[in-house]
Chain A
Amino acid sequence: MRLAFILSEIGGGLRRNLSMVISVVLVTCVSLTFVGTAALLQMQITQMKGFWYDKVQVAIFLCSDTSNAPNCASGPATAEQKAGIQTLLNSAAVKPYIKSSVFESQADALKHFREQFANSPIKDTVTADQLPSSFRISLVDPQKYQIINETFSATPGVDSVIDQRKLLESLFTFMNAASVVAIGIAALMIVCAVLLIATTIRLSAQSRQREIGIMRLVGASKTVIQLPFVLEGVIAAAVGALLASAAVWAIATFFVQGFLAGQFKDTPFIAANQALYIGPLLLILGVALAAISSSVSLRRHLKV
């Protein structure tokens, strides 16, 4: 009976303050969508790390027709120079650091390039002799790039030694920065949401001063008086959180899987259903924020 009473009070409250409730829903939805997006970015970084850190490769590019490094002044790398590098790779000084090495010919390089940039128009403008051949090396310890660099960068026929992990790291830095921005916007929006919930609850309580006065006089418990108001905010925030979860899922499905995955085939993307794990977190966050802000607001504005 008391439950029925509380539920009917909540229903009445939501109906009375419909426009405020809708704005709470929207603001919560937007702020939690930013939180969810930041979470997606972090999941994506984890995903990419898991994939690349296994296969991380140092590339030793050999001199080609187009290279202009000082080391390549004598023209494209010769067969002897290539054999010399191979020998060096197998030498006792270097061997312990190397897990495996593969030689990528210019033809292979073109093939991989075309795969990687399948959706880009530049793939048709590049020819095999513009691309250097290379040794692709995976290290026992990816941190030991410097040793390979020192050993090979001055070796005849070597154009450059590149740590591909470095390239990825700048991508990760970018993605982390993007998450920070998303979290920053989310924090601002959450402040808005909290204030809006507090205001909504206060207005709702003020519009029901008379009922509250009567409840206090006849000895209704604090819970019975306050719960409808708190739940009003919590329900609005929960609806916002559910919408945000749907938005995050839509981002993962239609943007990441539907668009990005098609665009960047060489990059592993999170699966759409991984976004489903974010939903409950957003729900808990939204509900907790609403519960806290509405109880604080009630404590300040509703004497019981």
Chain B
Amino acid sequence: MIRFENVTKAYDRKSRPALERVTLEVDRGEFAFLVGSSGSGKSTFLKLVLKETRADAGAVYVAGQNVANVPSWRVPKFRRGIGVVFQDFRLLNNKTVFANVAYAMQVLGKSRSAIRREVPDVLKLVGLEDKEGRKPTELSGGEQQRVAIARAIVNKPGILLADEPTGNLDPTTSVGIMNILDRINQNGTTVVMATHDDDIVNTMRKRVIELEGGHIVRDEARAQYTSMIPIVPAAAAATDDDGAPRSRRARLSQGEPDPDVLPPRIERKTGNEVAR
């Protein structure tokens, strides 16, 4: 469904590439986690799938089609096959839940009757059938993310990309979101999800693709993940801008990690100690 062949992407010549010679295949119907520290290239990977940005070298195939060969006027149609969910929901706050989901159908020119028929179905799938008249501001973060997911899948894309969809949510709410993504995946949609959340990865036991500095350093089925735990002073740990209440895990503060000065990591394979 998604195939990368020696893909390199550098945003500018001076810095190291965001992705370098990445080769990878995600099959139809698969569920894959994309993990790795901040700046490792996860979002860049998703952008390449969406043809939001161009690969400098190598080829990206989506649904059997080389995205480089999709002419710009065909890009909108190409994107209809891909749903996207972000960490920050990106809902329209002046529209109701129903209208937010319907919007994705309206802009494609879907008929009113199709919208009235299909929007309630997806809202039911994400468990929001009783909240369709609310505005996003009247919803919890988890509910807002479910609206965003409903909007991403309402046009029945074959692929769902999620860039840290649980990044703003507490662990319990995240589980609810993961259940929905799992259900969507079981309905046949290929799901690729970039995340920092070890707990989720370890609970789901799906394929894990780990990136580091633009390279794939690990690709395992039914795998686990423990984000690196650098030895950082308390002050740096306090600048954690992730928003997630995961105090047991110190993280790198924002900024691009320089591989050479990267703090020592603990052995990854002992990640099983993470309780859940």
Q: Which residues on A are within 8 Å of B, measured CB to CB?
A: 1-2, 5, 210-211, 213-222, 224-225
Contacts and interface: CB of A to CB of B under 8 A. Distances in A.
Contacts of B103: 211, 214, 218
B76 interface: yes
Contacts of A214: 90, 92, 103-104, 107, 151
A15 B273 CA distance: 58
A224 B107 contact: yes
A230 to B, nearest CB: 16
Interface stretch (B7-15, B58-66, B108-116, B253-261): B108-116
A218 to B, nearest CB: 4
Contacts of A221: 76-77
A217 B79 contact: yes
B92 A219 contact: no
Given A211-B92, A214-B92, A214-B103, A220 B76 contact: yes
Contacts of B73: 222
B112 A210 contact: no
Sort chain B's interface into a size bin.
20 to 34
Contacts of B108: 2, 218-220, 224
A298 B80 CA distance: 23
Nearest to B161: A217
A224 B109 contact: yes
B155 interface: yes
B128 to A, nearest CB: 18
Interface in B12-26: none
Interface of B: 50, 73, 76-84, 90, 92, 103-104, 106-112, 151-152, 155
Given A217-B79, A224-B109, 6 more contacts: A5-B106, A214-B92, A216-B76, A220-B76, A221-B77, A222-B73
B97 to A, nearest CB: 14
Interface-central residue, B92, B103, B104, B107, by most chain A CB under 10 Å: B107
Contacts of B151: 214, 218
Contact of A210 (B76, B84, B90, B106): B90
Nearest to A12: B94
A220 B107 contact: yes
Nearest to B110: A1
A222 B111 contact: no
Contacts of A1: 106, 109-112
B145 to A, nearest CB: 15
A213 B91 CA distance: 10
Contacts of B81: 219
Contacts of A219: 76-82, 108, 155
B109 A218 contact: no
B110 A218 contact: no
A2 B109 contact: yes
A5 B115 CA distance: 13
10 contacts: A2-B107, A210-B90, A214-B92, A214-B151, A216-B76, A218-B79, A218-B80, A218-B108, A219-B82, A219-B108
User: Which are the 8 A-B pairs with shortest beta-carbon distances?
Assistant: A2-B109, A219-B80, A220-B107, A219-B79, A218-B104, A219-B76, A5-B106, A221-B76
Given A214-B92, A220-B76, A5 B107 contact: yes
B46 to A, nearest CB: 11
Contacts of A225: 107
A211 B103 CA distance: 9
A220 B81 CA distance: 12
B74 to A, nearest CB: 10
A2 B112 CA distance: 10
Contacts of A213: 90
Contacts of B104: 214, 218
A231 to B, nearest CB: 15
A215 B111 contact: no
Contacts of B50: 217
B124 to A, nearest CB: 20
Given A210-B90, A221-B76, A222-B73, A215 B107 contact: yes
Nearest to B84: A217
Nearest to A225: B107
A222 B112 contact: no
